[in-house]
Structure 1
Amino acid sequence: MQNKKSITKGDNFEIKTKSSNKNLHKASKEKKDEFYTQLVDIEKELKHYKEQFRDKVVYCNCDDPFESNFFKYFAASFNALGLKKLITTSYNKSPIAGRQLHLFEIEGLKSIKPKDAEPYKIEINEVTDINNDGAINLEDVKQLLRHDKNTVTPLSGNGDFRSEECIEPLKEADIVVTNPPFSLFREYLAQLMEYDKKFLIIGNVNSITYKECFKLIKDNKMWLGASIHSGDREFRVPDDYPLNAAGFRIDSDGHKYIRVKGVRWFTNLDYEERHEDLVPYKEYTPEEYPKYDNYDAINIDKTADIPKDYNGLMGVPITFLDKYNPEQFEIIKFRKGDDDKDLIVNGKFPYFRIIIKKK
């Protein structure tokens, strides 16, 4: 039987959904994991950290400066956040890198054709009301880039975040904010830790299961962000992206968007909500909370089911980290029992569990 496809037309775009087993793992395998974060999701997350950006150098090193919503957000909010400097770089294999160059008409770079998709570095040190419209916004940034050729420079290499010319601005940066390729998440995160940087980045929730990532979470050196705790999020994808995801749409300009499940922000910037206590309401019974066959801890299938009157070891889903307060709970270990095999309960293997206990 063929999969059914439904199409709903709106005023400005066409939404399509179809049944499929294709998902983010296939995108990662094929290296088609270049997803462009929506501005609304950036705004919802960044509002929790605004004071931490004052007088800081922000680096977005996986972003085409002419397309990235990270660049748009920080450029338009440069003065409101009190930034010291904004630096962005792009990768020349990005399918959209440089295509919007003509919108800015960069002085001194007009000979470079948009189709070349060359990587660039943009440095913003000041944003003033250049167009005299009484407001400071992205239009002023466009004017700034148009008239100051020293602000925009082509990169000599390909713009890879691991290249030396992209590591140099990383050394200067105070905070890194971007959406790195999901297939390179571990390598990207390792670089941030090597250079001891504050960061706010997007990744898949299953990144928690990487031993390198889990260790950072266990040691309270990284945690989940404030705004995304469930559901899926919409990302723009390159024009040649195969639309075989569970849900997608194409807007009136032909831009493609897909919905990706299990997306989370990862950060080492603190925020107030992270220290709010989880309030359990259920009571413990041995029947409802069986112990693992190979570890002395009870199994809990949902974070909301953590019992209020149990003080021993508990195995919880990885989504527990959405509610994790390091002052309330201690993370003991991940996934394995006393026999160093995956946790088993009543002869069955639940999906990865984090062993915790109350403080």
Structure 2
Amino acid sequence: MTPDGSMSNRKISHSRHVVCDEYYTPYSMVAEGINPYRDRFAGRHVLLNTNDGDWSAFWQYMTGHYHELGLASLTSLEYCAEHATLFAGPADHGRIHRYDGVRHTVEDVMDSGGYDSPTGRRELARADMVVGNPPFSRLGEYLPLLADSDVLFLVVGNLNALCYTDVFPLFRQGRIMPAVHDGQTAAWFILPFEPDHATVRRRDNLGRPMIRVSRTAWLTNLRTKPVMFKPAHLYDSKVNRTYDGMTVVDCPSRNLIPCDWEGRIGAPASVLSRWPQGWRPVGVLGQGPGMVRPCIDGREQFRRLLLERGSWRPGLHAK
């Protein structure tokens, strides 16, 4: 974002021609997400590896609160999608923005500046904490990359990502959790251009169009206490049907998780935002590679989390 809050013509032009799931995070959302963890930033080398240099709300918030948070340094990658493409020009390369509380410096790099580029991996190895809003479609590779890098992270993402093949084991181990929130899983994001196919229902204070994205949450490996609830529904064989070929009963909604059932259940993904007490995750039933598809009378059901009775302390192994 440019200093006056507008987006550069080049970025807008590029966005118009690229179908993606990247939405710009409003400043207010950044502030609300970081606020519960403000005391975890002191002395940290913070990396923004998905936020386009110095124009995102993350950069604005971090530079504006640099001394309050007690940061040791702030680094932001500026990604160039055209790098190494057929249409790349001499100036099409990534950049690194650095801020030390006084000076803002910029340096060119010889690659795209993406989070998975050589530059991105090198900067990740130097960081203590990562903050940002990665493309939701890349969360399946992005979150394991952060987990393997042994950094603290607090990023915006889609809750469904916790069910992905390479992410679910991290969730099951309590190494990545939804951050503290009120149980709501939708948020408003700024669109990079004026949409031609939808009616704009909200604009920010600068008149930019916004879109409501469902199942959105902050995902983190910082010590947190997810929202939980105590199931009260009594098992009903007409409601809690058994899956074909499995001794697992279905729960069409989280409110229909039976409090008096001792076997395994298939719970809807909505439990990711409000977790049922007394249950622990053991797997995912769905359409992914290697997954068992839950069916009732031959009809395939939506993705389900496979839960069983047992103690599970969400976030216990967070940092």
Question: How many correspondences in the alignment?
Answer: 285
2:251 to 285, 297, 300: 300
2:156 aligned partner, one-letter code: I
What RMSD in Å do the two structures reach over aligned CA positions?
3.0
Structure 1 CA distance for aligned equivalents of residues 117 and 222 of structure 2:
26
Q: CA deviation at 1:171?
A: 0.9
Q: CA deviation at 1:68?
A: 0.6
Structure 1 CA distance for aligned equivalents of residues 133 and 182 of structure 2:
14
Q: Are positions 1:322 and 2:273 aligned together? A: yes
3-state SS of paired residue (1:301): coil
1:124 aligned partner, one-letter code: Y
The aligned residue for residue 267 of structure 1 is 220
Residues 222 and 267 in structure 1, CA contact (< 8 A), matched pair in contact too = yes
Evaluate the alpha carbon distance shift between residue 212 and residue 234 of structure 1 in structure 2; reply closer, same or farther with a 3 A threshold: same
When Rg is computed on C-alpha atoms for both structures, the one with the higher figure is 1
Q: CA deviation at 1:38?
A: 1.1
The alignment-based identity, stated in percent, is 25
Q: Deviations over 1:253-294 (max 9, x none)?
A: 5633322222222221121x32x6422222223333222222
Range moving further from structure 2, 328-337 or 74-83? 328-337
1:52 aligned partner, one-letter code: R
Q: Are positions 1:165 and 2:119 aligned together? A: yes
Residues 277 and 328 in structure 1, CA contact (< 8 A), matched pair in contact too = no
Indicate the structure whose relative CO is greater, using CA pairs within 8 Å and at least 6 residues apart: 1
Structure 2 CA distance for aligned equivalents of residues 117 and 350 of structure 1:
46
Structure 2 CA distance for aligned equivalents of residues 279 and 66 of structure 1:
44
Residues 303 and 320 in structure 1, CA contact (< 8 A), matched pair in contact too = yes
Q: CA deviation at 1:211?
A: 0.9
2:65 aligned partner, one-letter code: S
Q: CA deviation at 1:229?
A: 4.0
1:238 to 186, 192, 202: 192
1:47 to 24, 31, 35: 35
Q: Deviations over 1:61-95 (max 9, x none)?
A: 1112332111112222222222221111111239x
Q: Are positions 1:38 and 2:38 aligned together? A: no
The aligned residue for residue 77 of structure 1 is 65
The aligned residue for residue 10 of structure 1 is none
Q: CA deviation at 1:167?
A: 2.0
Tell me, which stretches of 5 or more residues in structure 2 are unaligned? 1-14, 83-90, 311-319
Structure 1 CA distance for aligned equivalents of residues 228 and 204 of structure 2:
42
Tell me, which stretches of 5 or more residues in structure 1 are unaligned? 1-26, 95-115, 128-143, 146-150
Structure 1 CA distance for aligned equivalents of residues 162 and 243 of structure 2:
22
TM-score (norm 2): 0.78
TM-score (norm 1): 0.70
The aligned residue for residue 130 of structure 1 is none
1:101-112 equivalence runs, <5 A = none
Q: CA deviation at 1:221?
A: 2.0
Structure 2 CA distance for aligned equivalents of residues 287 and 187 of structure 1:
40
